[in-house]
Structure 1
C-alpha cells in the first residue's frame, strides 16, 4: 500500500466506481478510439427526443479524455454547428460549464435535475470536454483509495474494499498520482485536445458538418489561443488519417491572457487613487483604502517585486521539467509571489468573492449541488464513468505549477493575431463583477493586438448590446472579426448571471452577425460606433453587505438574490425560469467554509494585512485553491495546507 498526494476538491459521499463494460467502441480520425454510450433522458437533458452521448477519447494507453455531447434542441443536429466547451483551471472540469452555466440542465439543492431554458444547445450541438487527463472524469489509471482525514490526502488501497480504519464516505476510485500522465503546460496540452476533436468528429461526423465553434473561460485565455493555433497549423499540415477541423470562431469568457497585464489589473481594479485608471477602479465602488492601496501598489511595482519577476520569467523558455529548468523555477516562484502579495490581499482585506465582488464569502453562486449528483452511482453508471468526480485535478494543477505556466504569456498574443489572420472570429467577453480575471486586464490585452483593424485606432467604439428582452445587458466593441464584450452585473461565470445575452452572443457569432444587434453581417470593414471606452458605472445597487445563506437562489431578471432565502420549494421567477431553495443542511459547504477560514487566517498572519470581518471566509473557486467553481488555476506550492483542493 502506498500514499499519494491526490486530494479532494470537495468532501462528498463517494463509492468505488463499477468499471463500465457496456461502452461502444468506434475508431475516430487520427486512429484514435472512442468509447461511448447513449445517456438516458433525465440524467441531464430532459427532452427524450434530444439525444446525449458521453464517452472517452483514448489518446494514449493511460490518457482517456472524457466528453459529454448533447444534440442541438431547436436546430436539426445533423445540420447544426458543433460548439466545444472547456473550462479552465488548469484542471477545472468542464462539468462546471455544463451544470453551472450553459448546459441543458442544472441540479438543485435537493439533488434534482432541472431544465436550463438558456442552454447553448438551443442553437448548437454541444460537447463538453474534461481536459487534460485527470481533470473531471478524464482518467489515467484508476485506483481504489480513501481520504486520510489528518492529511486530506488519498491513500491507495490494494482492492475495492473499504477498511475499518478508513472514512467509509471517502472510499472510492481515483486517478493514480502521476504528473507525467497529464499535461504540464498549455502548449503541452494542445496535442491531446486536438486528438480528442479528431476522435469525436471521426466517430460522429454528422454533428460537425456545419462548422465548429470553440468556447471557454478563465484559464481558457491561455488554452484557446494556443489550442486554436495548434489546430489551424495541423489543418495546414493535413497529416494522413486526420480530418480538417472547420473552426470558425473562438469565444473566451473572463480569460487569463497575459499575466503581466492581468496582475497589474488586480491593482487597477481595486484602486481609487491611481491616475492611470479609467473609472478610478472597478465600477461597483469597492476599492482599497489608501494604506492598502499603497501596500499593493508597492508589491506590484516596487523593485524586484511582482512586475519585475514576471518580466524576468517571460525571458525564459519552458524546460522539460521543473527540477532541471531554471525558467520553470523562476516562473513558478514569480507566480507564487505575485499571488500572495498582489492578489491575495483582496481576499484578506475586502472579504469579497474574487469571482463576483458583489458578494461576501462564502458566496452561494453559482450553485455547486451538481458535484454530489455526479458522485451518485446511478449517474456515474449512466455516463460510463471510471472514477469518482472532482471539480479540479490537483495532479494537473501541480504539473502546471511546476512549469510556472500561469505566469507565462506563452505566445498567447501572437496566437490571437495568427487566429485573426486566418479569418477566424475571436470574441473576448467579460463579466464586469469578476476580480479574478477582470475586464480591465482583458481590455488591456485587447489593446496590444496589432491586427484588429479599427479596434485600436480610435474609430471603433462601445455600442450597447440589444437583446430580445429590451434590456441592455452589456456593451461590445467590434472591429471586423474581433470583439471585446463587457457584460454588466455578471461574475466570472457569465452565462449563470446573464444567460440571455450569453446565448444571443453565441447565436449571433454562429450566424456571422454582429454581437451588438444581431442584424449586421460581420465583414472586414465593420466596426461598432460609440465611445472609445466603456464608461457605464454599475454602482452598488446589486452589492450585498451580508453573507448570504448557501441555499440562496439568483434572479437573472433583477440581478440579485431571490428573497426569501429559506423557502423549501421550487418557484417560478418572473423570467420564466425555476429557482430552488431549501432550509436543508449543507454540511459540505459549511465544512469548506470552516477549512478556508483557517487557511485565510494563516495567510493573514503571513501577509500582515488586517482581517476585515469576523464573518468572512475565503472561498477560492479555481485559481490557487480550487474551492468549488471554475477558475483560472490553483497554487500548489505555498506549503502543504495550500495543496488541498476544495
Structure 2
C-alpha cells in the first residue's frame, strides 16, 4: 500500500512540475528558479584523483588530525606572533571512510582560553562554513581589495571558535572515493563526532571548557543530530567526554512538516501573495506536501525525494507570485547572484596562492557550495530532526532557536511553530511564557520566549543570516546564552567593541 502511495506521489510530482513549467512559467524562468533555489550551484565537489598528492599539511603524517598555526597574508596583527595569534587550520582524516579528509579552522578566543568552545556549521546542504567565517561571525571580514579587516563582532571575542567544512566534498574537504559522500544525518553526525574526538585529543587544554554547537539553515538538520550523537557518546563513555552544554539553530530547517505548512501563512502576512493565492496553495499543494512528508517519516528513501519535489513546489510557487527577483533570504532585498548575495570575494581570496600556502591546502579546489553533496542529501531533506531534541532538553542541555524576521526560506513563523509544538515536559510552560524584549544597548533587538533549557528568539531587522545583518546583537546573543543569561542585558555588552 505504501509503495502504491509513493508511486502516486511521484506521478503527481512530475505532472505538477510539468504543468507549472509549461503553463505558468517560461522555461527560462523555471531554470532560474532551479538556480535560485540553489539546487545546482556553480561548483562541483572535491573528489580528487586517487593518485592526487595530499596537501602539504597531510603529507607523510600518520596522525588522523594534522593542523598548523597560521596567519593570513596581509592581516594586521600589531606585531603579534603566529604562536600568540592562536589561529589554526587543519585536516582530519575521517575514521570511517575510504579516503576522506575534513578541513577545519580553529580560532582561539581573543578574550580568554577559558571561554566556551563553539563549533559553527553552515547549511546548504553542501555549503562551506567559510561563508559564515568571512561574512557573518568570523574574526575578520574581506574588503573589496581582498584584504582582511578585523571583525569587531566576531564570535571569537567570546568563544574559542571552530568552523568545519562538511559533509565531505564541501569547502576544502575532499575524498578520492565517491563512496565517502554522505546521504543522511547518521553519516554526517558520526563524522563530526569522530572529528571532535580527534580535535580534543589534539587540544586537551580545551576539554573541560563548555561546548556549544551552532549553525544555520540546513544545519537545522545537522545540529540536532550532532548534539544527539555527542550526548550518546558521553552516555556510552565512548571516548573523551565532551562538555556539551547546548546547541543553537539559526533560521534552520528542522521539522519540515510544520515549516513547509507555514510558508503560505508567512507569505500572506508579509504581502508576498494575495488571499486568493493563499487559498489555492492551501487547497492544492499544502495537503499533498503534508501527506508526502508523513510517507517520508524519519527513515524513508524514495518517498523522501518525492516529498522534497512536491513540497518545494509550495516554495517556488510563492516565489513566482512574489516576482521581481525577491531575495528569499531577506525579502526586503533583491536576489543578486546564484546565492542571492555576492560572495565572490571569498572565493577570490581563498584561491590566492599565498593564502593556500598559509593554510597548507596545496592545490585542493575550494568548493563554496557543492551540488553533488546537495543532491546526495536530498533523501535526508524532508526528515524530521525534532524527534531527538526532547531527550536532550530533559537532561538540561540548552537549545536556542533564533530567526531573523525577514527570511522567507527558513522563516521565523515556521520555526516558532515547531518549537512550540515539540512535546517535552516543559512544553506547556514554554508556550504559556510571555515574550520579553531582547535588548542590546538599550534598544529592542528582538523578542525572546524562554522556559528552562529552551529559548526562541525572533531577531528584528534581520534575514536568514542574523550575524551578518545584526552582528552586534548576534554576538551579544551568543555571549549571554553561553553564560546562561540570555534574557539579561549586562554591563559587559558595552565592552564587546572595545578590544580587537
Aligned to 1:445: 418
1:295/1:377 CA distance change after superposition, 3 Å:
farther
Partner residue, 2:494? none
Aligned residues: 440
Shift of residue 518, structure 1, vs aligned partner: 4.9
**Unaligned segments of structure 2, at least 5 residues:** 1-39, 492-496
CA–CA separation in structure 1 for the residues paired with 2:201 and 2:130: 23
Pairing partner for 1:86 from 121, 131, 135:
121
Answering whether residue 284 of structure 2 is matched by residue 331 of structure 1, we say no
Contact kept? 1:45, 1:52, Cα under 8 Å: no
The answer on 1:259 being equivalent to 2:231 is: no
Q: Which has the higher helix share?
A: 2
CA distance in 2, matches of 1:228, 1:96: 22
Shift of 1:299: 3.4
**What residue number does 1:226 align with?**
225
1:395 corresponds to: 372
Deviation at 1:257, TM superposition (A): 0.9
| Kept in 2: contact 1:100–1:366 (CA 8 A) | no
Report the TM-score when normalising by structure 2.
0.82
User: Which whole-Å deviations, capped at 9, do the CAs of 1:453-502 have from their partners, x for residues lacking one?
Assistant: 266465411100121x3221111101011100000110111000011111
2:318 pairs with 1:306 = no
> For the structure 1 residues 45 and 190, does the alpha-carbon distance in structure 2 shift closer, same or farther, using more than 3 Å as the test?
farther
Q: Offset of 1:20 from its aligned partner?
A: 3.3
- Superposed, which structure 2 residues align to 1:453-472 within 5 Å? 453=426, 456=429, 459-467=432-440, 469-472=441-444
1:123 pairs with 2:154: no
* Contact residue 125 and residue 218 of structure 2 kept, 8 A: yes
Q: Are 1:477 and 2:439 an aligned pair?
A: no
Name the structure 2 match of 1:348.
Answer: 320
| Cα distance change of structure 1 residues 576 and 201 upon mapping to structure 2, 3 Å threshold | closer
* Residues 229-277 of structure 1 deviation map (CA, whole Å, 9 limit, x = unaligned): 11111111113xx200111111110010111011111111112xxxxxx
- For the residue of structure 2 that corresponds to 1:373, the secondary structure is helix
Structure 2 CA distance for partners of 1:508 and 1:342, relative to 1, 3 Å: same
Contact 2:43 2:370 in 1 (8 A): no
For the structure 1 residues 209 and 9, does the alpha-carbon distance in structure 2 shift closer, same or farther, using more than 3 Å as the test? farther
- C-alpha displacement at 1:9, in angstroms? 3.1
SS state of the match for residue 126, structure 1?
A: strand
SS in 1 for 2:56: coil
Following the alignment from structure 1 to structure 2, what is the Cα–Cα distance between the partners of residues 426 and 361?
31
Q: Which runs of 5+ in 1 are unaligned?
A: 1-6, 142-175, 272-280, 319-326, 520-574, 578-646
Q: Deviation at 1:451?
A: 2.3
- Evaluate the alpha carbon distance shift between residue 182 and residue 349 of structure 1 in structure 2; reply closer, same or farther with a 3 A threshold: same
Aligned residue in 1 for 2:100: 63
* Cα-Cα RMSD: 2.8
Aligned to 2:365, what secondary structure does the other structure show?
coil
SS at match of 1:243: coil
User: Cα–Cα, structure 1 residues 200 and 308, in superposed 2: closer, same or farther, change >3 Å?
Assistant: same
| Secondary structure of residue in 2 paired with 1:389 | coil
Aligned CA distance change for structure 1 residues 394 and 447 (closer, same or farther; 3 Å): same
Question: CA, structure 1 residues 8+431, in 2 after alignment: closer, same or farther (shift >3 Å)?
Answer: closer
- C-alpha contact 2:137 2:154 (8 A) present in aligned 1: yes
Quick one: distance in 1 between partners of 2:343 and 2:374? 23
- Write out the 4+ residue segments of structure 1 that deviate beyond 6 Å after TM superposition: 24-27
Q: Distance in 1 between matches of 2:408 and 2:402?
A: 14
Residue 205 (structure 1) shift: 1.5
Q: 1:576 to 1:355 in 2, by over 3 A?
A: farther
User: Aligned partners of 1:456 and 1:359: how far apart in 2?
Assistant: 37
CA displacement 1:278-314 (0-9 Å, x = unmatched): xxx23xxx33123432332233335xx2222222222
How far apart are 1:121 and its partner, in Å?
A: 0.1
For the residue of structure 2 that corresponds to 1:472, the secondary structure is strand
Report what 1:357 is aligned to: 331
Question: Are the structure 2 counterparts of residues 25 and 67 from structure 1 closer, same or farther at C-alpha, using a change threshold of 3 Å?
Answer: farther
Which aligned pairs between 1:135-214 and structure 2 lie closer than 5 A?
135-141=170-176, 178=178, 180-214=179-213
- Please give the alpha-carbon distance, in whole angstroms, between the structure 2 residues aligned to 1:337 and 1:83: 36
Which whole-Å CA distance do the structure 2 matches of 1:213 and 1:457 have between them?
Answer: 22
Matched, 1:375 2:334: no
Secondary structure of the 1:473 match is strand
Aligned ranges for residues 539-550 of structure 1 at < 5 Å? Answer: none
Q: Decide whether the 8 Å contact of 2:251 with 2:410 is kept in 1.
A: yes
Q: Secondary structure at the match of 1:359?
A: coil
